[in-house]
Amino acid sequence: EDQVTQSPEALRLQEGESSSLNCSYTVSGLRGLFWYRQDPGKGPEFLFTLYSAGEEKEKERLKATLTKKESFLHITAPKPEDSATYLCAVQAAPRGAQKLVFGQGTRLTINP
């Protein structure tokens, strides 16, 4: 069964304090790994897709990386507006399987 585990569950940082969020996955062939940001009362907002080990994507203060077993979301010099829940999801390779399997998320709080 495809599984995604995110850690930590919650993380508090001071403004400017860099850190990383982890997403470990077990999947029967990876088609893609997705990172989303979710604000309270809103739907998930797409951030990145990673397809193969070694791939990296960047957007502003965020950088996502991928290995064969896990992905990291690195946050550099975060600001209070980066506070949100970050969700990781995988899409498995079997033909026709389009569903995303999500982790429980990491709730990130950036204190000014």
Partner 1 sequence: GAGVSQSPSNKVTEKGKDVELRCDPISGHTALYWYRQSLGQGLEFLIYFQGNSAPDKSGLPSDRFSAERTGGSVSTLTIQRTQQEDSAVYLCASSLGPNQPQHFGDGTRLSIL
Q: Which residues bind partner 1 (CB under 8 A)?
A: 31-32, 34, 36, 41-46, 49, 87, 89, 91, 96-105
Give min distance, CB of 62 to partner 1, in A: 15
Give min distance, CB of 112 to partner 1, in A: 27
Q: Which residue, 52 or 111, is less far from partner 1 as judged by CB?
A: 52
Q: Which residue, 48 or 78, is less far from partner 1 as judged by CB?
A: 48
Contact between residue 11 and residue 72 where contact means Cβ atoms under 8 Å apart: no
Cα 61 to Cα 31, 66, 83, 86, 93, distances in angstroms: 26, 17, 12, 14, 30
